[in-house]
Structures are given as structure tokens and as C-alpha cells.
Copies of this chain bind each other. A is one copy, B any other.
Amino acid sequence: MEKPILIRVHPQDNVEIVVNEKGIPAGTLIHDQLVAREHIPQSHKIALKDFAAEEEIIRYGEVIGYAKEPIAKGSWIDEHKVRLPQAPELEALPVATRIPAEQSPLLGYTFQGYKNPDGTVGTKNMLGITTTVQCVEGVLRIAVEELKALLPRYPHVDGIIPMYHSYGCGVAINAPDAVIPIRTIKNLAENPNLGGELLMVGLGCEKLVPERLFLDIPQDNLVLLQESMGFRPMVEEIKAKAVKILERLNTRRREVCPASDLVVGLQCGGSDAFSGVTANPALGYAADLLVRAGATVLFSEVSEVRDGVHLLTPRTISAEVGQKMKDEMAWYDHYLDLGSVDRDANPTPGNKKGGLANVVEKSLGSIAKSGTSPIVDVLSAGEKVRKKGLTFAATPASDFVCGTCQLASGITLQVFSTGRGTPYGLAMAPVIKVSTRTELATKWHDLIDINAGTIATGEATIESVGTDLFHYILAVASGEKKTWADQWGIENALCLFNPAPVT
């Protein structure tokens, strides 16, 4: 029989996680004091003691729930045996009470980036095409198809990104929450990977008028289809204006830039119980290195952070930033209430199959991505990043909505951890995919960039994988290494966060 491998994250934990791929069979002798009473699947929890009903179940040194019934030592603690605790009461949370001390700066790290006129630096050199409304999409698709055929003439341009979305008309443009999708569209247009250039395609009668995004757009940068004399003239006008920008973009070259010019987004998707033990702590370690090198790091996913927010508010650098974090949580609580949604709606069937009993356990694993740095700022969904260091960008956890919001905030690269596995990719920025388990990295050898599963088996450490990831980020940002998603051209569509009604 295979040797049983189990991991415990915190000395106070009264559960451990099974590492073995096939789980451990009933009767497995784990050590003198512990025998598995039943089959326990990989990444699921075993009881280290006898639990009375209502006794605390502790993981990460935190209460992840209460035993619904007595649970005997050596049993499998699956989701049905765990009662969800209350979400932390927001008002009472301490803010800025345990601001981490500044870590020693990491000097001398650089990457090869594209410098923009506004001081930002891109990791790619792409033509972005902003749309004001979905009405233009059918025509723009055809123009982009024809433009892509011209790309060999512009070898220094990495690609063309039409920003399709379903916003712009048939929406409540003056609803209080309309500010979210509108600023997201605007800020996406200014992502550093788009070189400071603007090309906008609108219809002409939509609610989201171009001037609501940018004042005084020069004629060279704007196409309004209703001003065209038919379909082919529309396509030709888009192409002519795009080609002028492609010519300018093609003259750009990478230059040595300090690592502090990087803006890196962190995300997880398809999580399992290893996410919080292997991949996310490694992301957190890399995040700390990036912050020490002066870079900007964003972590997100409100509904996953909500149940661990009491661990984050003390790390905010001021009462103001702490309050902003509480405000974002409260906004989301209210938003879910309006839709009659339970907060435990976040974990997916895959999460639960992967051993995450509930949103609390998922949260504690998710926030491991944030590392140990002070939280210097909190952004609302789609707001532009304002400070170097670690920022909480409040976005939904949905991989596509979070990715879109982080791109609007200005990330130029994303690191994405996955346990169950997703082939996720973004057109606008490279996505480095980190697996939580070795089995996934082996099976998806042509999709997973970094394997953090070696941390669970003892072949590597959080520090070693985190350091590798840090160096990999610099190489990908420099265009020296290509992520698998970029290698294959795997691109998920943008997905705006629009909490306001459609009409």
C-alpha cells in the first residue's frame, strides 16, 4: 500500500488533508494514534480527534465550521458534517492594528517592457479596439479578421484585441451602479499593454456615448458606424484607422525597466483543498517578493475574501483603507441580499468535490495569495490602481469578471492558481497558471505553467516555488518565456461587471 501523506497547515488545526492521489483506504494506519475509519479522498479532511456535536473544526488556525453531529477521530469530514459559521461582523473589525513591518527591499530586478507615454509599462504591445456598444460587434469582427491577415507586416505588434461586451445600450445607463461597467470600459482602453493608443468603434445612437468615456476623441481614433455609407465603408474605415496605429505600435521596442514597473494580478479558479496549502501560499510568497521589488500586486474576489476579512483589515495601512475594505464587503453583502443569495453560494460542486467544505474554508485558502505585506489600498471594481505595493481590488470571484476588472485596474500580467483545472487565458495580458497538485500538472502538461503540487509532497517548499514563480513572472513579462495560454492562443472573452438592470 502507498504510504499515507497528510498535511497540517497550522499547529492548532484539528484536521489534516490527504495528499495521496487516490485518497487513503479505510483502515490505513497513519501513525500510532490515528487510523482512517473510512476511505478519505485526496484533498479531503480527516478528523484528528473525536468531535462532539457543535465543536469547532479548525484549519489554518481558524474556525472553518462546527460539527453538525459527533464525528469520530479518523473519520472523513465531508461538507455535510460541517455547519457554516457566521460571517465576520464588519463594523466591529479592527483596522490597521497589525500593519506588517516593511520587508527589506529587493534591489536590481528588472524586466524588458514597453514604456508608455503616461509612465506605465506594458508586457505586450497590442492594438486595443474599444467598443461603446454590442451593436458594432458583428461588423468589427469582420474588420478584425481582415486586420489580422495584415499583422505579418507589423512584426513588433503582439496582436489585436477588440473589446466586445454586452454593455452600452439596452441598459440602465443612469442607474447608480452603472458607474462600474462604464469605468471598466474606459480603464480597459487604457491598459498599459495597449501602448497608450486609442481606437474606438461606436454606433451613433447608443446610450454609452463616446464622450462619456473620453472627451474630445480625435477623428482618427473614432469610428461611428451610423456615419458610414454602408457595410464595406464601415470595415474600410475601421481598418484604415487601425493601420495608422499599427504602424506606430510597430516602431516600439522593449526596454529594460525596474521590476517596480510591474502590475501583477492574482486570481484563483477551480479551487480545491490544496489551493490554500500549495499554490496560493506560493503566490503569496511571490507577491511578497514583488512588493519588496517595488511592484504593484492586486488580489481580488470579494465573495472569497469575505469570510476571512478579519485577517485582512488589521493589515490595512490606515483607518481609511480599512474602512474602504469594509465598505466593499458591505456593498457586496447588500448586492447578494437583493438577489436573495446565500453567501455560501460561492463554492462550486468542484470546490466541494475538491474538499472545500464551505466558503470559510475556501476563503482562508484564497487569501493566502495575499502573502504578508501591508495592504496599501482598496479599489472598487474596475478602478485604476493608484499605489505600488499590495492592493485589494474588490471584484467578483468569477474568473472572467475578476480578470476583466483587474485588466481595467491596469494589470499587465496575471498569475492564476487552479486545483480542479481550467484552461483560462486572457487576450490582454499573459496568464501564468499554477497548479495546486502534481497530478493536474502532469495531466495538463501543455496548459499548466508552474506546478506547486510539489509543496504537498515535500519535493519543494512554498519558498522555492514562490521564488521560481517570481523569476518566471519577470521572464514572461519580458517576452522571454511564453505562457501555455499564449502559446496556444487561449483567450476567454471579457466579461463586464454590471450590477445594474438591463432594460
Contacts and interface: CB of A to CB of B under 8 A. Distances in A.
A500 B350 contact: no
Contacts of A353: 205
A397 interface: yes
Given A231-B423, A231-B444, A396-B502, A492 B336 contact: no
A215 interface: no
Given A171-B398, A353-B205, A488 B135 contact: no
Interface in A141-198: 141-142, 164, 166, 169-177
A141 B485 CA distance: 13
Interface residues of A, number: 83
A38 interface: no
Contacts of A136: 423
A386 interface: no
Contacts of A269: 135
Contact of A444 (B169, B230, B397): B230
Interface stretch (A117-125, A308-316, A340-348): A340-348
A484 B492 CA distance: 29
Nearest to A232: B446
Contacts of A135: 269-270, 399, 422-424, 492
B176 A340 contact: yes
Interface string A126-139: 00000000111111
Given A229-B443, A231-B484, A423-B234, A499 B501 contact: yes
Task: Name, among A137, A205, A348, A491, the residue most crowded by chain B CB atoms within 10 Å (CB to CB).
Answer: A205
B172 A339 contact: yes
A208 to B, nearest CB: 9
Nearest to A166: B495
Contacts of A139: 423, 490
How many copies make up the complex? 2
A286 interface: no
A174 to B, nearest CB: 6
A41 B67 CA distance: 73
B175 A345 contact: yes
A226 interface: yes
A164 B339 contact: no
A421 interface: yes
A450 to B, nearest CB: 16
Interface of A: 134-139, 141-142, 164, 166, 169-177, 203-207, 209, 225-226, 229-232, 234, 269-270, 303, 335-336, 338-342, 345-346, 348-351, 353-354, 396-402, 420-425, 443-447, 484-485, 488-493, 495, 497, 499-503
15 contacts: A134-B495, A135-B424, A138-B485, A139-B490, A166-B398, A166-B400, A166-B401, A170-B396, A171-B398, A174-B342, A203-B421, A206-B349, A230-B447, A231-B444, A346-B503
Given A135-B399, A139-B490, 20 more contacts: A134-B400, A134-B492, A134-B495, A138-B425, A138-B492, A141-B491, A166-B493, A170-B396, A174-B342, A175-B339, A175-B345, A203-B350, A203-B420, A207-B348, A207-B349, A231-B488, A232-B446, A338-B338, A339-B501, A341-B501
